[in-house]
Structure 1
Amino acid sequence: MIQSRHFRKCSRTPITLLLIAISGWVMYNRWGRLHTDLSNGWTVNVIVAATKEGNNYDWAYKLPLPNMQVMPFVADDLTATYHAPANKGHEAMAYLTYIDQFYDALPDISIFVHDADNAWHNDVILESTATYALTHLDLDAVAERGYLNLRVDWGGGCPAWINTSVTLDSPEYTKFKSEEVYLSPFLKEIFPNDPVPEIFGSQCCSQFAVTREAIRSRPKEDYRTQIDWILNTDLEDSVSGRVFEHMWPYLFMGKPVDCIAEFKALCMNYHICFETQDDLDLWNAAHATLEAGHKQYAADKEVGFINDKLDHEMVTLEPMVKRWKEEAIERGRSSWYRWKIAGNI
């Protein structure tokens, strides 16, 4: 109380005013500028790679993104408002067709996604849904960097997934990465004057956000050439599509390897900030244990066995997993903290 009364009696010197200003800045960043405050009015197109059979992209129209237009490119319906010239190359054909058709009328940011909202390739910590990811995506981070993969997890893509020197005769060749042997021929055909990078690495799975400037860093003719390649290739669609899965950072940033540390990408892109990669790994492991436990408990219950020990473990673990994520979200409200964790990614 004595200190409090003394403070009130103090004149508001420049130092006092500075401390007040700093305190206000800290509180402002401590409690955070929410995602919607960071949008800065960017215009956004959401390009959905769709099929008639799938037709399950209603979720995209409900996204709370500013100035948003949803554009479903239907692969197998030539009568659709937006459609690809042929049902080849999986999502790559839809994405490239959009770029080719709208190259001269692009919004600030284009977001490319598959038609399914809930899918395995969406990060578990983002509730495995595109809706959660895009609702929390920091569009300022996209605008600053030019290109962001929507996926954080390194599995199936990082840090050095593709070696372009591998051939069908190489002992390293595996059908698990059947597209690996085709990247070098593709690059030599599409970019004949450029050296072929030896290593490619980036998060899977062809869902990303990219700025108008990054798209236009290459001439429109480049994208048309890539469409023609898909139309003319004899490769299976799954293989030709996966060739492009590794190409997007290279096309838009000239970077064959773009593997941001998972905890840094999660912090800067989605404002979920774990202090270290080990902390994020621990959360993922705990969440996986929790999910496995729930499945085992349900299976035991189905055959009439009530596993009290497992139930107790799950009851103990569940609030911990929830709290760790909530604490990471709270840390992510501070722009200063996000910069401390992620820096300039």
Structure 2
Amino acid sequence: MRLSYRIGTAALLIVAIILIKRHLDLVQDDSRVQSGWSFNGISGGSDSSVPVASESKNDANAPAADSKDGFSVVGDANKDQSAADGDDDIALGSRPVYETTPIIVPNDRVIVMAKLSAEDTAWVSNDLADWRNYIYTVDDVNAAKHTPMNKGRESLAYLQYIIEHYDDLPSTIVFIHSHRDGYPGAWHTDTMDYSNVDSIRALQTDFVQRNGYANLRCQLSPGCPDEIRPFRNPPQSGQTTERVYAQAWKELFNNTDVPEVVAVACCSQFAVSREQVLQRPLSDYQWFYEWVLTTPLSDKLAGGVMEYTWHIIFGQDPVYCPDAYQCYEDVYGNPYFW
């Protein structure tokens, strides 16, 4: 009986010694772990003063560091060391680098919209979840995001977003109406189902970046080829925006260089790049915003003036009427999109 007790006690001691040794090994390993991340070229971990080599000059096959928004994932430290031999770059040394999970950059594109309080715009988050969205309620000053009044149709919401986010704009900004799809509500949306969801999913953001501006409607009528002739006398029958456009131009742009013809496919749904927005100073957008708020023109007329001015604000000629097939190719990647 005593022998069995002795054997059992010895076995417990052996197990305890093994566990203590394992623990000490783990603690020792943890003390050597270095972060694989670097910020602005400075690596993390206790050796944070060592800059990350930006390029392996001598070895074309050496893995480059992946980067996201200022962060870099360091590659194999031993390879970096050998590739940097003889260079001015400071190598990472031979410390171990562990596998990391890359940081995902927040979505760099946004949908901006004006809505009435009675309208349901949940479809934007549900159906276009890969876009951020910023939706202003124009008739309820108690809403989380709202304009000070309902004036100029969607104009105040569009301008307010630019003013509020001028210093941190995403790369691509899409301005659209609150309707999802269907006729007649979305009659001016160029897809078979008149669907803003389909059009945004097909949008070629690379074209938006190259051109700075993309009208989401490619069908030329209404709006092209010469919707607004400010000096037509007498003005076109029923074309009330044309009657007020010359004076509105002078007030908006503080000059008398009113174009002879202004034309663009309707109806205030378009995409712009951050770089194009920044071609104008913030004060310009504040001025346009104040004009919409204070002009004695009606809601409809103020919105109509802006509808035929957005493309000019964003760097296009007064007449912006590209061929419809070319427009579909550029904007949606398919000349027969609609």
1:88-237 map, 5 Å: 88-118=151-181, 119-125=186-192, 127-166=193-232, 170-175=233-238, 177-193=239-255, 195-237=257-299
SS in 2 for 1:223: helix
- Deviation of residue 79 (structure 1)? 2.1
Distance 1:41 1:150, change over 3 A: farther
Amino acid at match of 2:230: T
Q: 1:74 aligns with which of 124, 130, 137?
A: 137
Distance 1:246 1:171, change over 3 A: same
- Deviation of residue 171 (structure 1)? 2.5
Larger radius of gyration: 2
Compute the TM-score of the two structures, normalised by the length of structure 2.
0.64
What CA distance in whole angstroms lies between the structure 2 residues aligned with 1:109 and 1:77? 28
Q: 1:58 aligns with which of 122, 126, 133?
A: 122
- Deviation of residue 260 (structure 1)? 1.1
CA contact (8 A) 1:44 1:65 kept: no
Distance 1:273 1:245, change over 3 A: same
Higher relative contact order (CA 8 A, sep 6+): 1
CA contact (8 A) 1:42 1:109 kept: no
- Deviation of residue 264 (structure 1)? 0.8
Matched, 1:247 2:309: yes
Compute the TM-score of the two structures, normalised by the length of structure 1.
0.63
Give the match for residue 281 of structure 1: none
Amino acid at match of 1:242: G
Instruction: State, as a whole percentage, how many aligned pairs show the same letter.
Output: 32
CA contact (8 A) 2:229 2:261 kept: yes
Give the match for residue 331 of structure 2: 269
What CA distance in whole angstroms lies between the structure 2 residues aligned with 1:48 and 1:60? 10
- Deviation of residue 254 (structure 1)? 4.1
CA contact (8 A) 1:42 1:108 kept: no
Distance 1:161 1:41, change over 3 A: farther
Distance 1:145 1:41, change over 3 A: farther
Tell me, which stretches of 5 or more residues in structure 2 are unaligned? 1-104
What CA distance in whole angstroms lies between the structure 2 residues aligned with 1:187 and 1:42? 36
SS in 1 for 2:241: helix
- Deviation of residue 273 (structure 1)? 2.5
CA contact (8 A) 1:164 1:199 kept: yes
Amino acid at match of 1:265: C
Relative to its length, the structure with more helix (as a share) is 1
Distance 1:149 1:57, change over 3 A: same
Amino acid at match of 2:123: W
State the Cα deviation string for residues 38-76 of structure 1 (Å, max 9, x = none).
xx997111001111022x21221134464x211111101
State the Cα deviation string for residues 198-257 of structure 1 (Å, max 9, x = none).
111111000000011111111111111111111111211111101110111100014211
What CA distance in whole angstroms lies between the structure 2 residues aligned with 1:139 and 1:209? 9
SS in 2 for 1:115: coil
CA contact (8 A) 1:48 1:57 kept: no
State the Cα deviation string for residues 262-281 of structure 1 (Å, max 9, x = none).
1111122112234xxxxxxx
What CA distance in whole angstroms lies between the structure 2 residues aligned with 1:258 and 1:65? 31
Q: 1:43 aligns with which of 97, 108, 133?
A: 108
What CA distance in whole angstroms lies between the structure 1 residues aligned with 2:245 and 2:234? 17
SS in 2 for 1:73: strand
Distance 1:147 1:41, change over 3 A: farther
